[in-house]
A and B are shown apart, each in its own frame.
Chain A
Amino acid sequence: MRDLLADEVRVGQELPPLRVDVNATLIVLGALASRDWRPMHHDKDFAVERNGLRNIFVNTPNFQAWFERYLTDWTGPKGRLGRMTFKMKKSVFPGDEMSFSGRVTGVTEDASGCRWVEVDVGVSVAGTLTTEGHAKIALPADADDNPWARRGPNWQP
């Protein structure tokens, strides 16, 4: 896994797509890995009868983890997430195929010299956007730079 450098990124650049087939096991794995024990993420009867949905669905904290994975697949391990916002518009169920997409909206440098890339990210199912978000991730300026070494006033996400 190579490390993407800030100078290699341009506004408007598209991230490589990622497609993931969702099944009940993946949803339960994600819910339990995020210690989210709420029944609508593992109990189909509850999801249908109480929530009025067609099945269990991917939980919110797990979407954060999926977005982080999508972003660092692109940046490599030196990519350091500073900030992430996202909004769930529709639930993702077993049988869905999640299509991740991303587009660079900003490439900046802050007062401490940290190089930031801002990315709009989204997950679609069958062409319909289900979750959208925005992330700010620090990238190395060159091969010797390491955003993870930043601390205190030199890390201002």
Chain B
Amino acid sequence: MTRSTASPPPGAADLPAAVAALIGKPQYEEQSEFPIEIGYVYNSCAATQNGNPLYWDAAVAQALTGGRIAPPTMLSVWMRPHYWAPGAPGERKALMTHFDLKELCGLPEAVVVSNEASFGEPVRMGDVLTSRQVVRSVGELKKTKLGTGRFWVIDVETHNQRGEWVGTESYSFLGYRRPEGEA
């Protein structure tokens, strides 16, 4: 878990130069596409049958947190782009660094291996968040059950419009190529 970009671990010795160059370099600084709003908080709580009054009762929220906030685990929700937007070319994807790594490593398939998050200042209604993606490590090419691939870790560090740290999500992926002969 990181809150800064200090001392990234080195990548594997067999990395393409373009991949090695990405390690530790902040990329894709992006703003949330709309101010944080309560409708999505209700959607998330409804989808998980979460009755926590902090998210449903404005008086409880005022007493505990000085106003309405979003559940901490919604951190990544706010940074995902709309599926479509006027003028946007093609399908829009979150975590572009991950798709860059797939392309640069020549590994067309990928799965999330693990996910780690730490949470700072609460995300409040009306906040506008800014995130940046940092590749922390890319492992050597190895054989796995799914195919030959590499493990990599990407951090997404997020701050609010006041410059306060609101959280970091760290994703571990396996990018892989299916064994020859499989569709």
Binding site for B on A (CB under 8 A): 1, 20, 26, 29-30, 32-37, 60-62, 64-69, 72-73, 77-78, 80-88, 146, 148, 151, 155, 157
A53 to chain B, nearest CB (A): 11
A residues within 8 A CB of B7? Answer: none
Most buried by B among A67, A69, A88: A69
- Counting CB contacts under 8 A, is B40 at the interface? yes
Contact partner of A29 among B47, B51, B52, B80, CB < 8 A? B47
**Would A30 and B80 count as touching, CB distance under 8 A?**
no
Q: Given A72-B52, A84-B73, are A62 and B112 neighbors across the interface (CB < 8 Å)? A: no
- Counting CB contacts under 8 A, is B50 at the interface? yes
A residues within 8 A CB of B64? Answer: 77-78, 146, 148
**Would A65 and B73 count as touching, CB distance under 8 A?**
yes
Chain B 89-123 interface 0/1 with A at a Cβ cutoff of 8 Å (1 = within): 00000100000000000000000111111111110
**Would A157 and B119 count as touching, CB distance under 8 A?**
yes
A62 to chain B, nearest CB (A): 7
B residues within 8 A CB of A82? Answer: 118-119
A78 to chain B, nearest CB (A): 7
Tell me the total A-B contact number using a CB cutoff of 8 A: 112
With the chains together, A119 CA to B25 CA distance in Å? 33
Please count how many residues in chain B sit with their CB below 8 Å of the partner chain's CB atoms.
37
**Would A60 and B115 count as touching, CB distance under 8 A?**
yes
B176 to chain A, nearest CB (A): 13
Contact partner of B52 among A64, A77, A83, A155, CB < 8 A? A77
Chain B 24-54 interface 0/1 with A at a Cβ cutoff of 8 Å (1 = within): 0000000000000000100111111111111
B residues within 8 A CB of A30? Answer: 47-48
**Would A34 and B76 count as touching, CB distance under 8 A?**
yes
Which chain B residue lies CB-closest to A85? B116
**Would B48 and A1 count as touching, CB distance under 8 A?**
no
Contact partner of A33 among B44, B72, B113, B118, CB < 8 A? B44
A61 to chain B, nearest CB (A): 5
A66 to chain B, nearest CB (A): 5
**Would B48 and A61 count as touching, CB distance under 8 A?**
no
With the chains together, A49 CA to B1 CA distance in Å? 35
Q: Given A146-B64, A148-B122, are A67 and B73 neighbors across the interface (CB < 8 Å)? A: yes
Chain B 64-81 interface 0/1 with A at a Cβ cutoff of 8 Å (1 = within): 110000011110110010
**Would B112 and A65 count as touching, CB distance under 8 A?**
no
With the chains together, A29 CA to B49 CA distance in Å? 11
Which chain B residue lies CB-closest to A91? B111
**Would B114 and A32 count as touching, CB distance under 8 A?**
no
Q: Given A81-B72, A146-B64, are A65 and B121 neighbors across the interface (CB < 8 Å)? A: no
- Counting CB contacts under 8 A, is B20 at the interface? no
**Would A65 and B50 count as touching, CB distance under 8 A?**
yes
**Would B115 and A32 count as touching, CB distance under 8 A?**
no
